């Protein structure tokens, strides 16, 4: 090529949006390959959790991604390259470029909605050889070593994804009847199996060992799980199907509705959908979240039923590596994996880099495929640079890019899923999309759910997240193509089957945490769902200049499952001990050796020994005559049953022990709210919207003012506290949770019914706070008979936990005992419907406590007569407490726990059914407050200011 031609070609090359190789690589070469965590040439550090790939590339490569129709590659580079390729956008404006490349026999592949501009190779524009180098968009520094390897591998993946689609693949589908018994065909969702299913089903039916099926998201793994469950049923065994999220139990439960109509007993188990033990025992198939199944494992009453489980289908088994759920799943699988004769594991996994390692640990056969029914192309569009400290600007640039890409797809008749990292971002992004379609959103509050829903619906944009009140309507509208854009959080990515042509991942963080690669892959997998007639899908992860290389490296490397059990050793050691699966340190060491953590090299038993010491020190394990014995205490069994974090629970209990004993109900509830909101990270880190700030400050100023409560015998309701300097400084960490808990405790009428807002705070933003707090409050309340917390803590926490659970009833202080009675009469599976009904009936008759004399069950009671009489015996009804000087005259039901206190000092006695006189303990810290309380397994009654919790006051 002549020098003037080279100069012309060089100037055109700049139009690609990337630097030329002859500008990148001086004669001295490129920077050396850095090691993990080491910065090269002032660039970003290689992620420490990724292995450093070998940067050697022997081929003469010249690979380009073009995003400018005027761009042409340098002729010298083409002549020197033994492997030249180009990815470029589809469309008439690129026809000339495609023709130019075809004339020179340069392979090229085209993609709709193409956004990227990048080059990677070992040949520069003058034809010289270099190390493997990548150059991104204009202004980005070139990179070598592992960054260049990641760029090469990402290009290769995109190139392979753009391979021309075959005309048809009907011959690869196999009729269902050819592989399974004829009477199963009507229980399966489709008349034929796709290639993944056709390969896996014979393995399920002919094998008996564990099996792991790895396939891309969207490849249709659910029918494989169905066949596994039916195979267990055919052998007379139960099947348990584990899914990671409650939303997936809803979806799968609907899919299995046909099974119920054919006589199979399918039961859905989640934390919010209680079922009774008889229903669990009689069921053929359990559909459960991992956490709920683990809770069942920890319930000794269901051990026989667990032994009947012949197949454990684990959906999304790659979530072994999930920071939140992974430890529970690993502990569960470690328990089951050794017993392939008794319970078979069939794991369904998205694509992971170390699938072989997971399968080897389980002792499972691995079936791995890359087939998916649609072609998927993913990209990393680069956002305009903004000040990293300007959160509003960062959000705006992401929203703008999402709107622009969504417009391209929908203008072409396609549908789009936009994933956001928070509920607030879902609402604001949906409004921006509506505004782009001509809807006036000026002045609209993104926290006004009704306004957001109305405006966005009119624009063909819908929203979806767990607590969004219109999510069912959104699903229906998107499936029916009444809306062509759905803006959602990760709940849709986790498996709600909503097909779309394109997926835009707008945020790379969830809250303060980086999105897991597995979650991004799941989000990408929602693109191009064949059920909507789409054979191609496009996925976009929006990245800023500082993070693009990191994300390219992570996606190129793929998701690697890493054990999370080491972060929660104490909780799972306790759980194994409670289930009597181990009773000595030696057995604990053997258990640890069988975990995925140990399999991945975390084989030191020192953390295990430290965990055992910790559990003993906090009273979850009994002191043993032999140091190596591991015997759970009553507190340990309680802690395991409620599945509270042992470390956080101890932090909370310690803070309560160190706090002064309150002298009235308001102070007690305030103290619980304060300590819960600072000891529990979910509460402490709860975010709040701008709109909520004013209401939040107002709620905090009302701390202790019992707006819904009358004056009481121990003093009048408090006046509103004046604004403090703290108010002027703005909310602190944990203040939203504190305010929400105070509202639930002091102003329960605000929650009556199902309001969208409480004092301007969206109710859906409160749900997670209230449910997390309720679990720990219930744990504290259940300790009354044990003597492990002060009696005031148990009484107040038990009452508040029940009022929070049934907050839509607007029940005030003292309602906990009556709510407890209603729960027990309703039974667990019928409680959602019967408790409100019985509560309203009781209140209509003026009943404020469960202390009636009759023995005939109320009309709505779901218990048998014998069960009802047994429940009556569990009450503290008839208890008499009389304090005189330094003693207490008491009568309590036989077996009840009698708790006495003077300040912080407490004593525990067990009632024998006779009236007796007991001495109060010597005054402890905070000595003036004295009292007595009686606890049965579920009921309670106390003296002094705690009488406020004996009955609901008018």
The arrangement of strands across the sheet holding 485-488 comes to 375-379, 536-541, 502-505, 416-419, 485-488, 461-464
Class of the domain covering 170-368 = alpha beta
34-38, 540-544, 664-668, 848-852: which has the minimum mean pLDDT?
34-38
* Residue 845 confidence (pLDDT) above 80: yes
pTM: 0.85
Helices (H), 111-144: none
Q: Given pLDDT bands bounded at 50, 70 and 90, which one contains residue 168?
A: low
Specify the pLDDT at position 712: 44
- Domain ranges across the chain: 3-161, 170-368, 375-557, 583-641, 650-873
Region 485-509: mean pLDDT is 86
Specify the pLDDT at position 708: 47
* Residue 21 confidence (pLDDT) above 70: no
Give the dihedral of Cα atoms 761, 765, 767, 772; nearest 10 deg: -110
Higher-pLDDT residue of 295 and 596 is 596
Contact of 64 with 73, CB cutoff 8 Å: yes
Specify the pLDDT at position 91: 92
Residues 638-661: pLDDT tens digits? Answer: 999 999 999 999 999 999 999 999
CA distance 414 to 256: 30
Percent of the chain with pLDDT over 90: 66
Specify the pLDDT at position 412: 93
Task: Tell me phi and psi for residue 481, to 5 degrees.
Answer: 65, 25
Contact of 511 with 518, CB cutoff 8 Å: no
CA distances from 732 to 695, 736, 924 (A): 14, 8, 33
* Residue 175 confidence (pLDDT) above 60: yes
Quickly tell me which residue has 């939303």 as its tokens. Answer: 247
Instruction: From 129, 140, 156, 162, select the one nearest 63 (Cα to Cα).
Output: 156
Contact of 949 with 935, CB cutoff 8 Å: no
Residues 718-771: pLDDT tens digits? Answer: 444 444 444 445 557 788 888 899 999 999 999 999 887 888 777 877 888 999
Specify the pLDDT at position 672: 97
CA distance 136 to 184: 53
Contact of 46 with 52, CB cutoff 8 Å: yes
Specify the pLDDT at position 248: 73
274-283, 554-563, 845-854: which has the minimum mean pLDDT?
274-283
Specify the pLDDT at position 764: 76
712 forms beta bridges with 715
Specify the pLDDT at position 43: 53
* Residue 497 confidence (pLDDT) above 80: no
CATH of domain 375-557: 3.40.50.300
CA distance 312 to 309: 7
CA distance 434 to 422: 18
CA distance 188 to 378: 32
Specify the pLDDT at position 721: 42
* Residue 829 confidence (pLDDT) above 90: no
CA distance 778 to 774: 6
* pLDDT winner (highest mean) among 164-168, 243-247, 312-316, 369-373: 312-316
* pLDDT winner (highest mean) among 444-458, 525-539, 708-722: 444-458
DSSP tally for the chain: helices H, then strands E: 37, 31
* Residue 246 confidence (pLDDT) above 60: yes
Instruction: From 866, 870, 893, 869, select the one nearest 881 (Cα to Cα).
Output: 893
Q: What is the dihedral sign for C-alpha 667, 668, 670, 675?
A: positive
Region 95-99: mean pLDDT is 97
Instruction: Enumerate residues 6+ apart whose C-beta is below 8 A from 222.
Output: 189, 252, 255, 315, 348
CA distance 744 to 754: 14
Instruction: From 535, 541, 615, 542, select the one nearest 574 (Cα to Cα).
Output: 615
Region 781-807: mean pLDDT is 98
Quickly tell me which residue has 């010597």 as its tokens. Answer: 922
Q: Given pLDDT bands bounded at 50, 70 and 90, which one contains residue 691?
A: low
* Residue 717 confidence (pLDDT) above 50: no
Q: What is the dihedral sign for C-alpha 588, 594, 595, 598?
A: positive
CA distance 334 to 597: 10
Contact of 799 with 779, CB cutoff 8 Å: no
Residues 339-375: pLDDT tens digits? Answer: 767 899 999 998 889 999 999 999 999 999 988 888 8
Percent of the chain with pLDDT over 70: 87
Region 524-548: mean pLDDT is 84
Do domains 170-368 and 375-557 share one topology? The answer is: yes
Instruction: From 244, 763, 225, select the one nearest 490 (Cα to Cα).
Output: 244
Contact of 783 with 938, CB cutoff 8 Å: no
Q: What is the DSSP string of 67-95?
A: --TT----HHHHHH-SEEEEEEE-SGGGH
Quickly tell me which residue has 């029914």 as its tokens. Answer: 373
Specify the pLDDT at position 54: 82
How long, in residues, is the chain? 954
313 forms beta bridges with 241, 346
């Amino acid at each position: 090529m002549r020098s003037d031609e080279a100069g012309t070609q060089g100037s055109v090359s700049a139009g690609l949006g990337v630097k030329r190789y002859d500008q990148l690589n001086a004669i001295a070469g490129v920077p050396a390959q850095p090691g993990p965590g080491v910065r090269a040439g002032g660039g970003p550090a290689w992620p420490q959790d990724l292995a450093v790939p070998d940067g050697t590339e022997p081929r003469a490569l010249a690979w380009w991604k073009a995003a400018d129709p005027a761009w042409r590659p340098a002729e010298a580079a083409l002549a020197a390259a033994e492997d030249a390729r180009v990815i470029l956008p589809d469309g008439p404006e690129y026809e000339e470029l495609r023709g130019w490349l075809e004339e020179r026999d340069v392979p090229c592949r085209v993609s709709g909605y193409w956004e990227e501009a990048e080059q990677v190779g070992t040949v520069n524009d003058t034809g010289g050889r270099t190390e493997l180098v990548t150059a991104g968009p204009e202004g980005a520094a070139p990179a070598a070593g592992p960054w260049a390897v990641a760029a090469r591998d990402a290009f290769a993946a995109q190139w392979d994804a753009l391979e021309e689609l075959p005309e048809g693949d009907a011959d690869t589908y196999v009729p269902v009847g050819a592989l399974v018994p004829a009477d199963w065909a009507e229980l399966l969702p489709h008349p034929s199996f796709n290639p993944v299913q056709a390969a896996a089903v014979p393995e399920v039916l002919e094998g008996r060992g564990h099996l792991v099926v790895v396939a891309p998201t969207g490849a249709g793994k659910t029918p494989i799980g169905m066949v596994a469950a039916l195979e267990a049923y055919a052998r007379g065994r139960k099947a348990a199907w584990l899914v990671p999220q409650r939303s997936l139990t809803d979806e799968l439960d609907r899919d299995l509705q046909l099974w119920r109509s054919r006589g199979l007993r399918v039961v859905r188990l989640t934390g919010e959908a209680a079922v009774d033990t008889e229903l669990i025992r009689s069921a053929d198939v359990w559909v459960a979240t991992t956490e709920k199944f683990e809770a069942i494992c920890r319930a000794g009453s269901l051990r026989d039923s667990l032994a009947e489980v012949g197949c454990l289908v684990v959906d999304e088994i790659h979530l072994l590596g999930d920071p939140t759920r992974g430890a529970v799943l690993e502990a569960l699988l470690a328990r089951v994996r050794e017993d392939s004769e008794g319970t078979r594991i069939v794991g369904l996994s998205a694509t992971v880099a170390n699938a072989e390692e997971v399968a080897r640990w389980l002792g499972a056969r691995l079936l791995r495929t890359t087939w998916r029914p649609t072609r998927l192309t993913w990209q990393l569009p680069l956002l305009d640079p903004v000040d990293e400290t300007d959160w509003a600007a960062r959000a705006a640039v992401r929203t703008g890019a999402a709107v622009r890409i969504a417009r391209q797809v929908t203008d072409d008749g396609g549908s789009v899923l936009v994933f956001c990292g928070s509920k607030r971002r879902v609402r604001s992004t949906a409004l921006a999309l509506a505004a782009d379609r001509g809807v006036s959103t000026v002045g609209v509050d993104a926290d006004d759910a009704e306004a957001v829903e109305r405006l966005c619906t009119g624009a063909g944009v819908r929203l979806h997240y767990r607590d969004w009140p219109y999510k069912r309507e959104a699903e229906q509208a998107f499936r029916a193509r009444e809306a062509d854009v759905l803006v959602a959080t990760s709940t849709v990515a986790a498996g709600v089957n909503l097909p779309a042509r394109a997926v835009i991942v707008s945020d790379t963080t969830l809250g303060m945490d980086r999105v897991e690669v597995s979650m991004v892959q799941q989000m990408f997998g929602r693109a191009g769902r064949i059920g909507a007639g789409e054979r191609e899908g496009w996925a976009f992860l929006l990245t800023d200049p500082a993070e693009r290389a990191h994300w390219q490296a992570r996606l190129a490397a793929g998701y690697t499952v890493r054990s999370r059990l080491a972060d929660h050793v104490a909780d799972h050691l306790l759980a194994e001990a409670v289930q009597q699966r181990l009773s000595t340190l030696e057995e604990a060491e053997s258990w640890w050796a069988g975990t995925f953590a140990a399999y991945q090299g975390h084989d030191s038993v020192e953390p295990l020994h430290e965990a055992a010491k910790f559990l003993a020190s906090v009273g979850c394990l009994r002191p043993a005559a032999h140091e190596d014995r591991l015997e759970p205490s009553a507190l340990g069994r309680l802690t395991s049953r409620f599945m509270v974090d042992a470390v956080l629970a101890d932090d909370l209990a310690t803070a309560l022990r160190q706090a002064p004993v309150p002298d009235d109900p308001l102070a007690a509830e305030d103290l619980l709210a304060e300590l819960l909101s600072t000891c529990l990270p979910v509460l402490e880190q709860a975010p709040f919207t701008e709109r909520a700030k004013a209401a939040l400050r107002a709620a905090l100023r009302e701390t202790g003012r019992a707006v819904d409560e009358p004056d009481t015998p121990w003093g009048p309701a408090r006046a509103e506290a004046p604004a403090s300097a703290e108010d002027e400084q703005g909310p602190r960490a944990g203040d939203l949770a504190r305010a929400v808990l105070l509202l639930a405790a002091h102003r329960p009428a605000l929650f009556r019914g199902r309001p969208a807002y409480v004092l301007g705070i969206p109710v859906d933003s409160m749900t997670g706070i209230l449910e997390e707090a309720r679990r720990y409050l219930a744990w504290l309340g259940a300790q009354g008979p044990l003597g492990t917390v002060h009696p005031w803590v148990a009484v107040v926490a038990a009452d508040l936990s029940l009022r929070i659970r049934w907050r839509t009833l607007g029940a005030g202080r003292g309602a906990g005992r009556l709510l407890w009675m209603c729960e027990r009469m309703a039974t667990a599976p019928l409680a959602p419907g019967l408790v409100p009904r019985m509560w309203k009936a009781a209140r209509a008759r003026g009943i404020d406590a469960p202390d009636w004399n009759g023995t005939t069950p109320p009309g709505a009671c779901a218990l048998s007569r014998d069960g009802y009489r047994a429940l009556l015996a569990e009450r503290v009804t008839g208890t008499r407490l009389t304090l005189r000087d330094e003693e207490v005259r008491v009568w309590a039901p036989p077996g009840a726990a009698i708790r006495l206190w003077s300040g912080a000092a407490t004593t525990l006695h067990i009632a024998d059914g006779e009236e007796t006189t007991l001495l109060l303990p010597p005054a402890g810290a905070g000595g003036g407050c004295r009292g007595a309380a009686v606890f049965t397994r579920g009921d309670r009654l106390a003296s002094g200011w705690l009488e406020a919790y004996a009955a609901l006051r008018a």
